[in-house]
Structure 1
Amino acid sequence: MSLSQVDKASSEMRFYFPAPDVQFVSDLSKQLVDDRENRNMNCIINKRASYISGQTIYGDAVLANVGYTRRDTELQTDHVNLCTYYRILLRKLPDGIYKISKDSILVAELPCVYARTSWKGPSPRDLLCSFCRLQRLSEPYFAANRVSASCNVLGSAVGSEEMGSAKATAGNQCANDGRIAKENPDMFKCSVKIYSKKRDLLLEYSTDYSWSKETDAIQNSALKVLIWFNRYFKQLNTPVEKLYLPKSTDGFTIYPNIFLQEFAMCLSVYGKTSGGDSRTCSAVGYFSMDTSYQQLESSAFLTDIDGQDSGVFPSHGSLACISYSVHLFMKDSRKRYLLEVNNEFEFEIGAGAVRNQLESCATQLSVNQSACFVDQLSDRDLSLAAACELSLDLSKICRDSCVLEFSVKVLQVTEPLEDRMEKALFNPPLSKQRVEFAVRHINQLHATTLVNVTFILVPYLQVLACHC
């Protein structure tokens, strides 16, 4: 009997499996070819157990949750069930840790934009680092570079040796004109590289966008890479020639040979099963990433609207605080199962932080109003991950025979700050554009005295006031 510990968990989650007399091979991907050739059932690789544990596991395995009272007399352990299995698989997805950290598996989505003031949960950089660790990749490499409108030379913000001489040159050039530096403050860009454990480059990302703070550049670039991985995991069944391009758009460069080698296990675990009805859940099934059943409509048809109209509606950029519950409704038996409930959930409108239908519902309600809507069961395995104790009862459901019922109530709406809206809608910010225009206008008219500046600015301010 052999033992394999799964990641780091306070509950000491482990795999127990027989240890056959086979030669140890550390590279999991190379074993995929040997599976079919080996006729001994005891020596067939358990792909799911190997993928979860990060070690080569042969034959059947038992996933156990073991607690030790000597560590903590009040240590609580949960029974290992289908929900446990699907949550483990969910954590290894690009958006899985974010969903679990928000305690919102069926509602929360990985946001498409990053803002320090509205982002809730682990930062995009931390999420990307966790994803790479769970996929047995090296830590992602972030190279933040300082760029300036007045200086064409870039300087690395992470101490890259190759950029050392360029950084010194940039510093000398920029130091020659302090006035220009104040008018054109430095901006930051960040590139990201993803390596395998053997330090083989499999993906790199660079962008032309720049941010005023180095932290924002790193977090936004990390989020872009996470979003790319999230799209990839939803297209695992796409033909290789369509998905992997040596030079892809949006600043991504993929190295397909290394990439396929590192993610060979993902297709067998998350991909569509061969044979059978892919629309039916299986008690030992795969975590399906099939998106063919995703609902195309982004609007929600509301029913059972309750509460008086307060006149305060969530708008684009505002922070909405809601409470919600999600039930699984069986059409044939007319039964309802509670899958998920959240008494206080906050998200930014327009950031893609929740499923489309729920955001559509929230924007149609005012504060203290509630409503219900129905959505298709397109993400059946997410339902099993959220079902907890009910996962065994739901393991054989067919998604055509049931729907999801959402009950939503808007608790509070926080309007976005003016500077946040300005930064979101104008780049550079509108206030900065106004100042730059005034300074440029003064320089063009060669104003040298305070009187001249006053005569120039008064008409400008009058026109500006008329348009505000």
Structure 2
Amino acid sequence: METKEHRVVAPKKPTLTPKAIIHQKFGKNACYVVEEVKEVCQTGCPGLSIPQTGPCLYRCTLQLPELTVVSETFKKKKDAEQSAAEMAIEKLGIIPETTDLTPQEAHESLVARIAYLFSEKVDWSVYSLFMVEQLELFLISDHPLSGHIRATLRRKGDHCGLLPISVISVLRATTMLHEFLAISERHIWIRKLSPYPQDIIESLMEEGGSQECIQVEAIRIPSSMEKHVEAVTLCMSLREYYLDIIANELGLEDDANVLISRNIGKASSETRLFFAAPQSYLLDQSFISGNGKETFHFEGSLNVRARYLSGQDIVGDAILACIGYTRKSRDLFYEDVTVRLYFRMLLGKTPGGIYKLSREALLTAELPSRFTARANWRGSLPRDILCNFSIHISSKNLFREILAGQAIQNCQLYAMQCNKSIEPMCENPSLDMFVNGVYNLKIEGPDSGICPGNGSLPCISYSVSLVVENENMKEVIEVCNEFEFEIGVGAVISYVEEVVMQMSVGQYAYFNTNLLTSDLIFASAGDSAKMSSLLSSSELLSPVTVSPKTHS
């Protein structure tokens, strides 16, 4: 079967309307008020003054923070709104991007925006009131960079207004702005050469966040594989700069030494890794490679686990936290990151882990080895797993088979099973229980003599606990009231399948096993401190209770 290659043409970005641009910049802070205007027409007869009602027209008033514009009259409401938005764009000096930008154009656009914020040529004492208002609008906007600038301007002393270079992301942009920016010797922070207007700083100090202390749960990932990941608590007030707190937690001199990774997980997630800047973190042109990418020379211990999560080289300990400024709110956004979430994120980076998470059965479910029928499959389909897990299929024969539409689901399963290079990063191999086998098996209840076989779809309830022998310690780590799976395709861990195949409906089975791994236990359980204590015991058992409900 021949296949034709089609050249993929990237769709162009649609041109935004003026109203869409205003919404993009101001969101809910833009208020449109449309009023009806009735024109009075005069008759054409001399000496007669008989008023007549003309066509109904509309005028729009657009209210933005500290800026209001009124449109001309139009026959349609939407035309009046678009006209008001267009007038506001013109007054604000917003340049809409009507075409797809090349990398060079995007870079120049970024440089222009940074130059506007840090321009040294602006004498704020004599500059126009309008531009001062625009600066104030930006500083109180929902833009993430505005949040960082506000936080640095609230600081006192020498660190007031010092912005860590890592929050701007594109390092090369700052190399073209030496006339506007003061850059540290190690090029890890920047600030405006001329000070911001004092009234702006005073207003920021007055409207700053609450002094009340907030606590944000985060995870420390040590660079040494001999050390376990551990939960840490970031304590701060909303008036403090959160990067200062993270720098202190990492034992760094100040926030300028903290680098920020890209988003971890979904694009909408604010979870990131925070880590120390390498010694060679310089902006000198000699550190920029010919392809335009920044290159660094790392000294120290590479953090393998942090690198696995982020996909970038990280040296030293790292803090995994969900905190930062977003476009959704002016306030600091934060959510707790737990040890359980950390291990679930690790699971989500493997096909088998994605399948386990989709079934919410981390300790029992396994990615099936083959696809028999859609009616027998439970959990995420192979194609959905492949969409979540970007994988390169190297087999040309397999690729042709997928293109031909033959056994697509089985081909996708085979592709995932061929990819053995990516494995979960276990917490600590010494905590894993490698003793093989199921023992102390007890099956209770009436035996009907009908047991499930290959191809059957039994539905069971089960619970898994951690128990320390000779001590009154038991912790339930996973419970499932209804878990259905197909026998004979590897959809469940082998020892559970072996036990279920000996049971009939209505019976109960109890057995112990030492086949659970610590990464799955931490991903399933809630209390990580208690799990660490239990896993360190030499007399640890994992009792499993299984009860078949139905099978077909």
- Output the TM-score relative to the length of structure 1: 0.52
Aligned to 2:78: none
Letter in 2 for 1:112: S
Question: Residue 166 of structure 2 corresponds to which residue in structure 1?
Answer: none
Is residue 279 from structure 1 mapped to residue 279 from structure 2 by the alignment? no
1:108-119, aligned counterparts within 5 Å?
A: 108-115=365-372, 116-119=374-377
The range that moved more, 60-69 or 340-349, is 60-69
Residue type of the alignment partner of 2:409: Q
Q: Does 2:347 correspond to 1:90?
A: yes
Tell me what 1:445 maps to: none
Q: Tell me the equivalent position of 1:404.
A: 542
* Residue 346 of structure 1: how far off its partner (Å): 0.7
Which of 191, 204, 213 is residue 395 of structure 2 equivalent to?
Answer: 204
Quote how far apart the aligned CAs of 1:106 are: 0.6
- Check whether the contact 1:109–1:353 (CA below 8 A) recurs between aligned residues: yes
CA distance in 2: counterparts of 1:369 and 1:362, whole angstroms? 10
Q: Which amino acid aligns with 2:410?
A: N
- Does 2:337 match 1:80? yes
Please say if 1:392 is aligned against 2:529.
yes
Tell me which of the two structures has the higher relative contact order, counting C-alpha pairs closer than 8 angstroms and 6 or more residues apart: 1
Find the partner of 2:409 among 201, 212, 219: 219
Letter in 2 for 1:95: G
Which of residues 487, 507, 511 in structure 2 aligns to 1:349? 487
Rounded to whole Å, the distance in 2 between the matches of 1:360 and 1:300 is: 12
Please list the CA deviations of residues 198-253 of structure 1 after superposition, one character each: whole Å capped at 9, or x if unmatched: xxxxx326469989x955522211111212324x556xxxxxxxxxxxxxxxxxxx
The one-letter code of the counterpart of 1:15 is: L
Whether contact under 8 Å (1:280, 1:399) holds in the other structure is no
Counterpart in the other structure of 1:185: none
The whole-number CA distance in structure 2 between the counterparts of 1:233 and 1:50 is: 13
- The number of equivalent residue pairs is 280
CA distance in 2, matches of 1:387, 1:53: 24
Gaps of 5+ in 1: 133-138, 141-192, 194-202, 235-265, 282-291, 415-468
Q: Which secondary structure does the structure 2 equivalent of 1:395 belong to?
A: helix
Structure 2: unaligned runs, 5 residues or longer: 1-257
* Cα distance change, pair 14–209 in 1 and its aligned pair in 2 (3 A): closer
The verdict on how the C-alpha distance between 1:67 and 1:2 changes in structure 2, with shifts beyond 3 A counting, is closer
What SS does structure 2 have at the residue aligned with 1:348? coil
CA contact (8 A) 1:90 1:97 kept: yes
Cα separation, 2, equivalents of 1:105 and 1:77: 27
Write out per-residue CA displacement over residues 416-464 of structure 1, whole angstroms, 9 at most, x where no aligned residue.
xxxxxxxxxxxxxxxxxxxxxxxxxxxxxxxxxxxxxxxxxxxxxxxxx
Which residue identity is paired with 2:265? D
CA distance in 2, matches of 1:412, 1:379: 29
Specify which of 277, 281, 305 is matched with residue 22 of structure 1.
281
Q: Which residue does the alignment assign to 1:338?
A: 476
Q: Kindly tell me: are residues 45 and 279 of structure 1, through their superposed partners in 2, closer, same or farther at Cα, counting changes over 3 Å?
A: closer
Name the structure 1 match of 2:250.
none
Q: After alignment, is 100-109 or 330-339 more displaced? A: 330-339
Verify the 8 A CA contact 2:458 2:550 in the aligned structure 1: yes
Cα deviation, residue 17, structure 1:
2.9
For residue 388 of structure 2, what is the aligned residue in structure 1?
A: 130
| Structure 2 CA distance for partners of 1:93 and 1:412, relative to 1, 3 Å | same
Q: Is the 8 A contact 1:294 1:378 kept in 2?
A: no
**Contact 1:110-1:227 within 8 A present in 2 as well:** no
Distance 1:395 1:335 in 2: 13
CA RMSD of aligned residues (A): 3.9
Change (3 A) 1:381 1:22: same
Q: 2:271 aligns with which of 10, 13, 25?
A: 13
1:209-358 to structure 2, matched below 5 A, reads 215=405, 217-230=407-420, 232=421, 269=425, 278-280=429-431, 293=434, 295=436, 297=437, 302-303=441-442, 305-358=443-496
Q: Are 1:81 and 1:392, in contact at CA under 8 Å, matched by a contact in 2?
A: no
- Counterpart amino acid of 1:280? L
**Deviation digits for residues 175-194 of structure 1, max 9, x if unmatched?**
xxxxxxxxxxxxxxxxxx2x
Distance 2:304 2:288 in 1: 14
**Residues in 2 aligned to 1:368 and 1:355: alpha-carbon distance in whole angstroms:** 21
After the TM superposition, which residues 41-80 of structure 1 pair with which residues of structure 2 at under 5 Å, given as runs? 44-66=301-323, 79-80=336-337
Partner residue in 1 for 2:18: none
* Equivalent residue in structure 2 for 1:104, among 361, 374, 394: 361
Query: Residues 94 and 229 of structure 1 are in contact (CA less than 8 Å); yes or no, is this contact kept in structure 2?
Result: no
Shift of the 69–7 alpha-carbon distance from structure 1 to 2, 3 Å rule, reads: closer
CA distance in 2, matches of 1:89, 1:352: 22
Shift in Å, 1:302: 2.6
Q: Tell me which amino acid in the other structure corresponds to 1:392.
A: A
Larger Rg over CA atoms = 2
Q: Is the 8 A contact 2:383 2:409 kept in 1?
A: yes
CA distance in 2, matches of 1:344, 1:68: 41
Aligned to 1:80, what secondary structure does the other structure show? coil
Answer yes or no: is the 8 Å Cα contact 1:11–1:66 preserved in 2.
no
Equivalent pair of 2:509/2:545 in contact (CA under 8 Å): yes
TM superposition shift of 1:307: 3.2
CA distance in 2, matches of 1:412, 1:25: 64
Q: Which residue of 2 aligns with 1:120?
A: 378
The structural deviation recorded for 1:70 is 9.2
**Distance in 1 between residues matched to 2:412 and 2:356, nearest whole Å:** 17
Identity %: 38
**Structure 1 residue 66 displacement after superposition:** 4.2
- Looking at structure 2, the residues matched to 68 and 99 of structure 1 have their Cα atoms a distance apart, in angstroms, of 32
Quote the offset at 1:407 in angstroms: 0.6
Q: Distance in 1 between matches of 2:328 and 2:385?
A: 29
- 1 CA distance for matches of 2:317 and 2:401? 51
> Structure 2-normalised TM-score?
0.44
Would the aligned equivalents of 2:468 and 2:537 in 1 still touch at CA under 8 Å? no
CA distance in 2, matches of 1:208, 1:53: 29
- Give, in angstroms, the shift of residue 334 of structure 1: 3.7
Instruction: Provide, for residues 71-93 of structure 1, a one-character-per-residue CA deviation record: whole Å limited to 9, x for no partner.
Output: 69xxx987322222222212222
Aligned residue identity for 1:22: Y
Task: Report deviation, 1:121.
Answer: 1.7
Give me the whole-angstrom Cα distance separating, in 1, the residues matched to 2:472 and 2:518.
18
Residue 201 of structure 2: aligned partner? none
* Secondary structure of 2:415 counterpart: helix
Distance in 2 (alpha carbons) for counterparts of 1:13 and 1:64: 6
- The amino acid that maps onto 2:272 is R
1:411-450 correspondence to structure 2 within 5 Å: 411-414=549-552
* Aligned AA (1:227): Q
Structure 2 residue matching 1:128: 3-state secondary structure: helix
User: In structure 1, what residue type is equivalent to 2:336?
Assistant: H
Paired letter, 1:114: F
Measured against aligned partners, the alpha-carbon deviations of 1:12-58 in whole angstroms (never above 9, x if no partner) come to 322223444526799xxxx9x965xx25xxxx543322221223334
The answer to whether the Cα contact below 8 Å between 2:401 and 2:408 also exists between their aligned partners in 1 is: no
Q: Check conservation: 2:323, 2:335, Cα contact below 8 A.
A: no
Q: Aligned partner of 1:316: which letter?
A: N
